[in-house]
Amino acid sequence: MPLQTANWEPNKEMPVGKGATVQQFFTVLGKDRFEISVAPWGEGQLKVNGQEVARTAEAKDRRQAFTTLKQAAERYARGEPLEMSKNGKARLIPTVKAKLLDGKKGLVVGIANEQSIAWGCAAAFRAFGADLAVTYLNDKAKKHVDPLARALESPIVMPLDARVPGQMEAVFERITKEWGKLDFVVHSIAFAPQQALHGRVVDVPLDGFLTTMHVSCWTFLRMAQLAEPLMKKGGTLFTMTYYGSRTVVKNYNIMGVAKAALESAVRYVSAELGPKGIRVHAISPGPLATRAASGIPEFDKLLEKAKAKAPARSLVSIEDVGAATAFLAHDVARLITGDTIYIDGGYHVVD
């Protein structure tokens, strides 16, 4: 069957329709899986078997972007060479006219790849004009983060493994030296050893408990402490949580305990730093297919349940999380602080 007559199916794991942000479509030809992702502002990419082979950033809207990439897929299937975009932009960073965060400086911690929640936030911040410092976990992760950092035009790109003494402090020292200020911080890291995550909460050994709490909770407190003197005119601190903090979610286990502690920390930090104009938010997206989530057993069932039961009947995307987080970083949100903000299509309000 030629690709011209192939049926492009929508990705049912993502929102569709007029109100959706990024949409994905796929088809299969022989052994090859073709996937097209398009955004309302006319940017998109074509992947074949998970590898990007073409992108566009010049289309006027989503429909034109899809048509352009569909034609590229047809040329690829015929064995014709494709011309890659030379604009240097990474996946789905929108171009917006209103640079609402122009002049703002932010630190985003936790980008692992282009499916990361932290990447969704970073792309939105940059689209609205903010300058970003980003970190990567280690040398293995660096090759995935570097292209994204270039797309963000980040002047500060540094390693940050929360378990390595001094790395976090080095990041903030660099920011102090180069910028002398900070307007927002995104803390999007969490970790639990496999033994601790996969076992019962009552069976978690002390070292597993301490490691989980150290990376997933204490690091947020430490980042808040380091950011405070750089937020002389106020700012915003973000951390990522999940509703497994307030109710028992199968297989979430010790991470639910850590997220409960993290949300409590948000309330206390907001009370302590609020008089200085520093706002604090715990962002709670619905389940997302990220690298971090891959460590949770039966996570695909969580996705199915969320889509079926959420009032919006849609799964959240990293772009949805990014847009909401960017709004909260703007000064118009100056009186919103200290709470858990759910971006989950209403899933948290149903049983």
Catalytic residue among 242, 243, 342, 347: 242
Query: Residue 221 CB: number of other CB atoms within 10 A?
Result: 16
Contacts 24+ apart (CB under 8 A), 294-300: 295/192, 295/194, 295/197, 296/197, 296/251, 296/252, 296/255, 297/198, 297/251, 298/250, 298/251, 299/251
**121, burial (CB in 10 Å: exposed 0-12, middle 13-18, buried 19+):** buried
Q: According to DSSP H, which parts of the chain are helical?
A: 62-77, 117-127, 139-152, 167-178, 194-198, 206-213, 219-227, 254-273, 299-309, 318-329
Query: Residue 337 CB: number of other CB atoms within 10 A?
Result: 21
Instruction: Give the Cα separation of 226 and 175 in Å (integer).
Output: 11
**Does the annotation mark 347 as catalytic?**
no
User: Using the 8-state DSSP alphabet, how is residue 51 labeled?
Assistant: E
**Does the annotation mark 252 as catalytic?**
yes
Of 104, 123, 58, the closest CA to residue 233 belongs to: 104
Catalytic residue among 76, 136, 243, 252: 252
Instruction: Give the Cα separation of 305 and 302 in Å (integer).
Output: 5
Beta bridge partners of 282: 239, 340
CA 144, 319, 278: angle at the middle one, nearest 5?
Answer: 95
- Mode of pairing for the β-strands spanning 51-56 and 44-48: antiparallel
Tokens 């976090």 appear where?
168
- Judge whether 279 and 319 are in contact, CB under 8 Å: no
Query: Residue 40 CB: number of other CB atoms within 10 A?
Result: 16
Write the DSSP assignment of 119-179 as a string of letters. Answer: HHHHHHHHHTT-EEEEEESSHHHHHHHHHHHHHHT-SEEEE--TTSTTHHHHHHHHHHHHT
Active-site residue numbers?
A: 242, 252
